[in-house]
Amino acid sequence: MTSEWSGRLVSYLVIGMFVVLLYEVVLRYVFQSPTMWAHETAQMMYGVHGLMAGAVALLYRVHVRMDVIYSRWSERTKAKMDCGMGLLALTFLSLFLWEAGKAGVHSFIIQEISRTAWGPPIWIYKLFFPIAVLLVLLQAIADLIRNFTFAITGVRYENDT
């Protein structure tokens, strides 16, 4: 539920990116007066959009996977393999969360800004890294619990994806 909610919320960034880039195109090509902020703003919005989409992508299982062998397995065998991969993912995501958190906090403490002429605050953008990783980690934990339960019992619950 949290993954879906955050995915819906972050999807509105696409509208913001469209507005920013449309504004830039009109100013640049109609009025010959380009902005120095629009491109970088759109890049940061796109970055946050991509980061925050990870949890909802995991929820709906749309990440790229090698299906050559996987598709031939039974549902319970898939669940068992997903448990193993889930444990690896939890290890990686935990380490990633730690490092992203350190980088985000450091950026906030020093009030990091971009080195471009416009110089927007980068620390706001960098704080989304640990938030996004935390959301993916929580979704991975939920998936691991679902897969483990199914691998052991063979019963899927109604709300499982």
What is the per-residue pLDDT across 86-138, written as a single tens digit (0 to 9) for each?
999 999 999 999 999 999 999 999 999 999 888 899 999 999 999 999 999 99
- Whole-angstrom distance, CA of residue 125 vs CA of residue 27: 26
* Residue 141 placed within a domain: yes
Give the pLDDT score at 158. Answer: 63
- pLDDT of 42 > 90? The answer is yes
Number of domains present in the structure of the chain = 1
| Residue 69, amino acid | I
Containing structural domain, residue 142: 2-153
* Residue 53 placed within a domain: yes
What would the two tokens of residue 103 be? 């980088």
> Looking at residue 1, what DSSP letter applies?
-
Better-predicted residue by pLDDT, 123 or 157: 123
Instruction: Tell me the torsion sign for CA atoms 154, 156, 160, 161.
Output: positive
- Residues 64-95 have pLDDT tens digits of 777 788 889 999 999 999 999 999 999 999 99
* Residue 45 placed within a domain: yes
* 3-class secondary structure, 158: coil
Give the pLDDT score at 160. Answer: 56
Q: 60-65 contacts: CB < 8 A, separation 24 or more?
A: 60/161, 61/161
Reduce the secondary structure of 89-117 to three states and give it as a string. Answer: HHHHHHHHHHHHHHHHHHHHHCCCECCCC
* Residue 140 placed within a domain: yes
Q: Which residue(s) pair with 113 in the sheet?
A: 121
Q: If pLDDT is split at 50, 70 and 90, which confidence band does 49 have?
A: very high
- Whole-angstrom distance, CA of residue 49 vs CA of residue 47: 5
- HSE-up of residue 85 (Cα within 13 Å, Cβ side): 12
End-to-end CA distance of the chain: 12
* Residue 159 placed within a domain: no
* Residue 160 placed within a domain: no
